[in-house]
Amino acid sequence: MSNKKVFEGNRAAWNQASKYHQQARKDSLLKGFENPDFTTFNSDYDNVVVNKLKQINFEGKIIAQMQCQNGRELLSLMKFGAKEAIGFDISDIAVSEAEQLAKAAKQNAKFVRTNILEIDDKYNDYFDFIYISEGALQWFPDLHNYFAVLSRLLKKGGQILISEIHPFVYLFNNGFDFEKQQLDKLTSYFKKGPYHYATGMDYVGGIEYESDECFWFMHKISDIISAILQADIEIREFDEYNLGNAADETVKLLNGFPLSYIIIGRKK
């Protein structure tokens, strides 16, 4: 399958999903960001992430979020003291919502609609810190290209923080039923895909719909770590958790199962 088909399909599918998210949230984010103390980091798992973020000095720094969706996390992150933020996302609808939220929040944050693999060279060596959060890496067939872009955008010594869904969670993504324990329905940890979310991606309202064609890929932990290291980013911290915002209720039943991980890296 061509990469063009993957990225154009995902752009359309995320435009579709973003409209469902907006219907579910109504204007709660717009109203929320009018309050200078408002943050969207408020779950138990967000507390884990926030504790990691507190170890980083953001004062006067230029920061970015990759696959930032409607920018709510980046706008919340700005409250750690950065002087400028840029969010990148492929979805037209998500980026235009992010621009409205940035106005309401009165933050020095800009949003760019682009495929991450095509981010303009004017951002080379531009960022002190790049944030990547849950549900971001699975859209890329090849993580080597992806982390090569991040490395190009980071200043020397710049940091990344990845807070992602654990790939083990994706084993249960293609119709596995916990009660029936259909082990033959597990998605292989070793087969890259592409896979398809046919019933949509409305993780805010939980509405199921016939999704525009979109494609996601399984990346093993070793694929992720190798791609980061090969992009000249050294890994300073790597932790796994059995908490996560994105894991569905059935996966949470598996107490002791990894639901998320955090990696902190630094460009050499």
Contacting residues toward ligand SAM, per CB under 6 A? 7, 10, 14, 67, 69, 89-91, 94, 115-116, 133-136, 139
Backbone Cα Rg of the chain: 18
d(CA 208, CA 139): 20
Closest CB to ligand SAM among 59 and 121?
A: 121
- Please give the distance of CA 260 from its chain centroid, rounded to a whole number: 12
Helices 221-230 and 143-153: crossing angle in degrees, nearest 10, is 40
Residue 29 or 116: the one with the smaller Cβ distance to ligand SAM is 116
User: Which structure tokens are listed for 72?
Assistant: 């709510």
Whole-number Å distance between alpha carbons of 187 and 159: 32
To the nearest whole angstrom, how small is the minimum distance from the Cβ of residue 201 to ligand SAM?
7
Residue-wise DSSP of 142-177: -HHHHHHHHHHHEEEEEEEEEEEE-GGGGGG-SS--
Min dist CB 179 to ligand SAM, Å, is 27
Closer to ligand SAM by Cβ: residue 168 or 217: 217
Of 57 and 90, the one with the shorter C-beta distance to ligand SAM is: 90
CA 154, CA 2: separation in Å to the nearest integer?
Answer: 28
Measured from the CB atom, the residue of 159 and 163 that comes closer to ligand SAM is 163
